[in-house]
Chains A and B, each alone.
Chain A
Amino acid sequence: MGPTVYIIDDLVAAPGKGHELLGLYREKYAPAARARGMVLDREIVAPPLWLDELSNRLLITWTVAGAAGWWGQGVQSRFDPGVAAFWDEAAPLIASRARYFGTAEADIAEVTHV
């Protein structure tokens, strides 16, 4: 299994589009992500109110079990046209985005001992 791996989507919404972006993500991205074995950990909205003129930042964190879980979701997603279609549809709602993969600091020794 291995340590818990976190997959973090860091989405900066286009001004005024934060709420719509989160709704689209929940509707069209999350179900297939769950089917790929990803478990939703949390959704953080910053600042914690919906802005009309400015950008909200959405930090959406998923977990998978170890490197095997990471490859399981990764291999499925890159050959699923629905994933690319979601990001294309969401693009007008996104000012910028990043995706990070990590573990708890306490798990670094275990995750690198392979």
Chain B
Amino acid sequence: MYSLVCLVHLSDVAAETTVRAELQELGAAVAPVMEGAFNGGDLAARLTFASEADWRASKDAVDAVLVGPAVARADTALSRDVAGGAANPGMAGGVWRGLLLAANKPQAGERMDQFESELLLMPRYIPAIRNWRLGRVIAATGEANWTHVWEQEYEDLGGLLGPYMLHPYHWAQIDRWFDPECPDWIVDTRLCHSFAQFGRSLLG
């Protein structure tokens, strides 16, 4: 499967309803980005495709919305599944979190498998992550040439801001990939950390 995550920065907040409707018309799940995101946009939109050809068939229409006058800019990432899981596939009312990252430092290539494997172990140690998906990016736009999309779903915002952020598997194990002070650093410090409530599970 393929997913397209679009983090839309609006130039005209009053046009939110219009942009949202236009993306929904194309089959996207769309929700306002919640307070506290970092470079996360104003609207989060997500589309799924069975094939790259299906994405190509929709690409021009999606792009047309994202270059419209109400949109200041958008960070987008089309990614192919690496792996995912669902502990609560029917979750309703939870919080989706999407991280767009660029693992582009010189040593990234030789360490990529370990990086991805360790990311995918996060739900094992942090059960507040109920559903998850890691994708490798095929096409990206925005502030960086994004290489990965790391998505999770939580029962509520507390799961993201509490266990996810505070568990030592995150800060004492995973974060070294993101930390320029650590020799294992491979991920650019420019990130998109966005979260939203879609009213249903997108990853289940």
Contact = CB atoms under 8 A, between A and B. Distances in A.
Are chains A and B native binding partners rather than an unrelated pairing? yes
A71 B171 contact: yes
A98 B183 contact: yes
B23 to A, nearest CB: 32
Contacts of A70: 171-172
B116 interface: no
B146 to A, nearest CB: 18
**Would you list the 10 A-B pairs with minimal beta carbon distance, nearest first?**
A101-B172, A114-B166, A67-B166, A114-B163, A99-B182, A70-B171, A114-B167, A78-B180, A111-B168, A78-B189
Interface stretch (A16-24, A52-60, A79-87): A79-87
Contacts of A87: 180-181
B165 interface: yes
The main secondary structure of chain A at its interface with chain B is: helix
Interface residues of B, number: 17
A112 B167 contact: yes
Given A74-B175, A78-B189, A112 B180 contact: no
Interface in A55-112: 67-68, 70-71, 74, 77-79, 83-84, 87, 96-99, 101-103, 111-112
Interface string B163-195: 101111001100110111111000001000000
Contacts of B36: none
Contact of B168 (A67, A68, A74, A77): A67
A71 B179 CA distance: 11
26 contacts: A5-B172, A67-B168, A67-B171, A68-B166, A70-B171, A70-B172, A71-B165, A71-B171, A74-B171, A74-B175, A74-B179, A77-B180, A78-B180, A78-B181, A83-B180, A84-B180, A97-B183, A98-B183, A99-B176, A99-B181, A99-B182, A99-B183, A101-B176, A111-B168, A112-B168, A114-B166
A45 B171 CA distance: 27
Interface in A3-23: 5
A70 B167 CA distance: 11
Contacts of B165: 67, 71
Contact of A77 (B163, B166, B181): B181
Contacts of B180: 77-78, 83-84, 87
